[in-house]
Amino acid sequence: MKKQILAFLLLLVMVLAVPVQAEGIYVKDEAGILTPEQQQKLEAAAAEIGEKYQCGVYFISVPDFTMTGESSVREAAKYRYRKDDLGLGSGDDGVLLFMSMDDRKMALITYGYGNTAITDKYNQMIRDAMKKDFRDDDWYDALETYLEMTGGCIQAARNGRNYHPRPSFGQRLIAIGICMLAGTGVAWLVVSGMEKKLKSVAVGTEATAYAGPDGLKLTVREDDFISTTTSRSYSPRSSGGSSGGGGGTTVDSDGFGGSSDSF
């Protein structure tokens, strides 16, 4: 009996020693494309966005979206959003990136305040930004981009501003190089022009040195100020507001926005 208990305890220790990739609240990697450490980092980043801006940002990967019984990857994403009870607050506000790995299809859907923050324009921008890493099967970097850009859109929307993505390190280096070359070129043109206009000069010792070929001419002009007239016209301001640079969001009859794509 003691041997059986000891064997059971050893087996229990061995099972507990095996690392298990726990399913997170925001990041659910059911296809197993992330390491446990990567999932933990993404989970923490997504949780911070949700807590700070009260709009959930989620990721779900599955081997095959048809396991849900839906006919398209977008419908499968909507199914999981409802089934997993995603979204924060009374409006279930949130954004979900849903990926089907076998057929390399994804859907980026929005709900509630997610529709306000992630417009059609930003939705396309985020998907395009991830595709380069997706083509290289670099899932973690692509999901970091997803969280950074989605969080930036939500933050900008909460502050009443348009979202402007931060340029990458390479883009910043290129911009700096272009500015330096342009500045050097302009400076060279200015200096060259000044050099061409330079002439030898000397102090004139006679009045004739400062007179033109026809001699020195002096003229006098007198102006008498009589009156002035000021005219004003009223131009009313437009009462219509600006829609901003983010555009609008196309929303289904069931309240979901967003679109699907291949990667």
pLDDT band, residue 230 (cuts 50/70/90): low
Q: In what side-by-side order are the strands of the sheet with 94-100? A: 27-29, 56-62, 94-100, 105-111, 256-262
Find out whether 153 and 163 touch, Cβ atoms under 8 Å: yes
- Among 90-94, 203-207, 241-245, the range scoring the smallest mean pLDDT is 241-245
In the chain, the amino acid numbered 78 is: K
Read off φ and ψ for residue 62, nearest 5 degrees: -135, 155
The residue-averaged pLDDT of 238-261 equals: 77
Over residues 187-203, the pLDDT tens digits come to: 556 555 666 665 555 56
Between the CA of residue 141 and those of 38, 72, 137, 138, 162, what are the distances in Å? 10, 26, 9, 6, 24
Cβ-based neighbours of 100, under 8 Å, separated by 6 or more? 62, 63, 64, 65, 73, 76, 106
119 vs 179 pLDDT, higher one: 119
Distance between CA 247 and CA 142 in Å, rounded?
Answer: 24
Per-residue pLDDT tens over the stretch 232-244: 443 433 333 334 4
What pTM value is reported for the model? 0.66
- 247 pLDDT tier (thresholds 50, 70, 90): confident
pLDDT value, residue 56: 98
- Separation between Cα atoms, residue 249 and residue 230, nearest integer Å: 49
Is pLDDT at 249 greater than 90 in this prediction? yes
- Mean pLDDT, rounded, of the chain: 79
3-state secondary structure of 85: coil
Least confident of 16-20, 247-251, 257-261: 16-20
What's the pLDDT at 165? 78
Query: Predicted confidence band at 119 (pLDDT cuts at 50, 70, 90)?
Result: very high
Tokens of 65: 């979206």
